[in-house]
Structure 1
């Protein structure tokens, strides 16, 4: 029995922190966890889970005309946001309860309080209590940020989307990353008039160029007003330029979700209709403006630097391959480290931490060849190198096909899908796989296994196709489209 109150104290009740706490407790360790917001963190409460449910809800809009093309007689319905939102909140409450039950069942002591590091082996709670621990694990995640510009406080961030009591009629989304593009597709599918500004030359920077272009085309084809190379020059409440007043259209501040220790919302106010002028000359009033311009780690006022933990220039906790900070007793996992900001990665990091610290099995975190998906419409599934990255590394062959899938083609839809393999000329190894299609996320999970195992193009070729499917194209492309 150590002299500490706990063997492990976890700060943060998101997916990574909860998994680490539970698994550590299963080894017999005395574990406590502190969370000052809702258990489940960004993914469960204000990220992946509610977002995916919104993706499902938004996809039904296109099913109506498609069903008629297949011979069904039905009328277009009307989406009721309050009805969906009420059920969404019930589901999130259920999931939070599941997380709490899992912790309780594992013997983890829960503190519903904000916690900060008070020393290498000490944690201070907001209510004045302190606790000592042999190890401290920081898993506080990240938060959305607003740009530094006049009146940005009137805009929304992604957290706020899940707390709207009613849908706006129009919205300007600022940003071109996956969060911006996903919400553009979701809100358009729910009937909102969507305009999107992105300062770059193409959306989804960092993903495969060909895939990015196809998704941008599909978004515009669906009716999203996408403006590339465009940013906001000026924005101010519409009431100041003769529009509807903020009192008429503004969302009550208490209806908004304020999370992550208020870092996301410093100086924020209730969103109101905004008059916006863009660098492209557009001047327009939108019911809402959503900033999807980046996220930052939750490290402010955490006592980390005072305890000797080194912080990076973007506010991230610097860790080694074992998730250990510059203080040997303090570790960090998940988005707060700004390595690969995905929920399954945070969970893997938490598992590796437990192996290293509580099972005497030093386990570095493997961040190579991680499959991921962007839930736009159509979806993007990706694993490994993009064509642009691969050709900078070595000579490659690019196997690629784009076509109208059977289901949509029959219904007269213009949508195209993309199946793409990046292959090493020297080793025949598949370096990357990129899919743009409905359910691409499901497909890339399976393709990711093959790529992670080091499959070659010959391995793909000798796999019999499943016909008729979209995914069969991954194993029937015989000749490279191009080489680089």
Structure 2
């Protein structure tokens, strides 16, 4: 091992890279890590964390109305974006400091620099310094991309939304995935007039049809101007903002246009192909079940591999890499039955197969209920929730659970444990209900609503 400057050199200071660096260092390995921007990666700096804080901020508008319905003498305030933004960035600075401290306390040597792969066992920093490493881990994440249309650069992406000097009065959000849909709900809740275009027939493609249908319906009910089967045709800078013409022929001027139409792995200019690492057609690093590339000394984890783009998955991939390489315990990453939440309003939580995917695989029974929850019904809000289980007829295993409801993310984490363990519908039924809650419906649905 003494032949190398480092036992492990990690490129990228996001969730996966930082965790792998710290855990590898704890085994006694000498570890270096290079990050060209800010420690914490997409999740901490420009993703889950600031987004979730914006979700919280955006929910107060509805809370004021609910409070009055519950007898509180309360007036709506006005949302002060600069005040919120200042506190938001202070919190991100604090979290970045924690990441740096954790690495320092773990004896990881930090290089605040861009690094590229210059050999099968060599990395080069932006200043030209090179280091040799027995193992190299690429954890450079991904980034949002603008679509290939004229004047697309007039628009912003999710990266810039946190940096706007002021909130727009009118915004167009283009896209139908969870990032587009979450920001449509957030900005709508903060008082922005939101229009959302999605070229497909329904938002949140790939998720359960019934669940995404309810989310879409409720978003429209809450004031999001959602236009399906619609896309941007032309855009240009004009007095008063950005003029947009869409595929249905209508035109409008917006203060901002945000594109949430896809992300791409950060593999450009890393020198990967030159050393023999295979990069796929979507710019992703191609790896095996152990996160190893075609070059035995080079591994990759997280969004740069374009497997499952979720922070906890990157962390697990980083841990499995250390088990495999530094602890002599070959560990495959388990990408099966990963629970996830979409922080739209209403929230959606999901684990396992959608009704559509399960029905393609085997005969299933569907247990579902949709109702107005007690809290919002009392406040005369038209909100509806959905609780749904997809059950195998043959094994009685719960193959999928889909929740559209306040706190769906919290619920799906717990339901995910049972489903990962292989729980059957009868085991759900044998669990006593917690009353009165929304989640009790998961254990009280006795008869299937349909088979598929």
TM-score of the two chains, using structure 2 as the length reference: 1.00
User: How far apart, CA to CA, are the structure 2 residues paired with 1:429 and 1:409?
Assistant: 33
- In the alignment, which residue of structure 2 is the partner of 1:455? 423
User: How far apart, CA to CA, are the structure 1 residues paired with 2:245 and 2:323?
Assistant: 53
- In the alignment, which residue of structure 2 is the partner of 1:144? 144
User: How far apart, CA to CA, are the structure 1 residues paired with 2:252 and 2:165?
Assistant: 24
Find runs of 4+ consecutive structure 1 residues off by over 4 angstroms. none
SS of the equivalent of 2:274 reads coil
User: How far apart, CA to CA, are the structure 1 residues paired with 2:376 and 2:227?
Assistant: 27
- In the alignment, which residue of structure 2 is the partner of 1:103? 103
Cα distance per residue 1:278-337 (max 9 Å; x no partner): 112221000000000000000000000001000100000000000000000000000000
Measured after TM superposition, the shift of residue 165 of structure 1 is 1.4
Task: Say whether residues 1:316 and 2:297 are aligned partners.
Answer: no
User: How far apart, CA to CA, are the structure 2 residues paired with 1:36 and 1:52?
Assistant: 25
Measured after TM superposition, the shift of residue 384 of structure 1 is 0.1
- In the alignment, which residue of structure 2 is the partner of 1:424? 392
- In the alignment, which residue of structure 2 is the partner of 1:35? 35
Task: Say whether residues 1:223 and 2:223 are aligned partners.
Answer: yes
User: How far apart, CA to CA, are the structure 2 residues paired with 1:381 and 1:326?
Assistant: 36
- In the alignment, which residue of structure 2 is the partner of 1:191? 191
- In the alignment, which residue of structure 2 is the partner of 1:261? none
Matches within 5 A, 1:195-214: 195-214=195-214
Task: Say whether residues 1:376 and 2:344 are aligned partners.
Answer: yes
- In the alignment, which residue of structure 2 is the partner of 1:444? 412
- In the alignment, which residue of structure 2 is the partner of 1:248? none
User: How far apart, CA to CA, are the structure 2 residues paired with 1:7 and 1:162?
Assistant: 37
- In the alignment, which residue of structure 1 is the partner of 2:234? 234
Let me know the Cα RMSD of the aligned residues: 0.5
Matches within 5 A, 1:34-183: 34-183=34-183
User: How far apart, CA to CA, are the structure 2 residues paired with 1:23 and 1:310?
Assistant: 27
Measured after TM superposition, the shift of residue 233 of structure 1 is 1.2
Cα distance per residue 1:31-66 (max 9 Å; x no partner): 000000000000000000000000000000100110
Task: Say whether residues 1:22 and 2:22 are aligned partners.
Answer: yes
User: How far apart, CA to CA, are the structure 2 residues paired with 1:225 and 1:301?
Assistant: 40
Matches within 5 A, 1:242-261: 243-244=239-240
User: How far apart, CA to CA, are the structure 1 residues paired with 2:135 and 2:187?
Assistant: 43
Measured after TM superposition, the shift of residue 473 of structure 1 is 0.1
Equivalent of 1:398, from 360, 366, 370?
A: 366
User: How far apart, CA to CA, are the structure 1 residues paired with 2:318 and 2:87?
Assistant: 31
Equivalent of 2:307, from 319, 331, 339?
A: 339
- In the alignment, which residue of structure 1 is the partner of 2:275? 307
Equivalent of 1:471, from 439, 442, 450?
A: 439
Measured after TM superposition, the shift of residue 148 of structure 1 is 0.4
User: How far apart, CA to CA, are the structure 2 residues paired with 1:217 and 1:76?
Assistant: 25
User: How far apart, CA to CA, are the structure 2 residues paired with 1:208 and 1:67?
Assistant: 33
Task: Say whether residues 1:287 and 2:255 are aligned partners.
Answer: yes
Cα distance per residue 1:126-160 (max 9 Å; x no partner): 01100000000000000000000000011001100
SS of the equivalent of 1:323 reads coil
Equivalent of 1:348, from 316, 320, 345?
A: 316
SS of the equivalent of 1:306 reads helix
SS of the equivalent of 1:413 reads coil
SS of the equivalent of 1:163 reads coil
How many residues are treated as equivalent by the alignment?
A: 452
User: What residue ranges of structure 2 are gaps of 5+ in the alignment?
Assistant: none
User: How far apart, CA to CA, are the structure 2 residues paired with 1:436 and 1:382?
Assistant: 9
Cα distance per residue 1:88-121 (max 9 Å; x no partner): 0000000000000000000000000000000110
User: How far apart, CA to CA, are the structure 2 residues paired with 1:391 and 1:461?
Assistant: 22
User: What residue ranges of structure 1 are gaps of 5+ in the alignment?
Assistant: 245-272
SS of the equivalent of 2:423 reads coil
- In the alignment, which residue of structure 2 is the partner of 1:257? none
SS of the equivalent of 1:340 reads coil
TM-score of the two chains, using structure 1 as the length reference: 0.93
User: How far apart, CA to CA, are the structure 1 residues paired with 2:45 and 2:449?
Assistant: 43
Measured after TM superposition, the shift of residue 2 of structure 1 is 2.3
SS of the equivalent of 2:275 reads coil
- In the alignment, which residue of structure 2 is the partner of 1:269? none
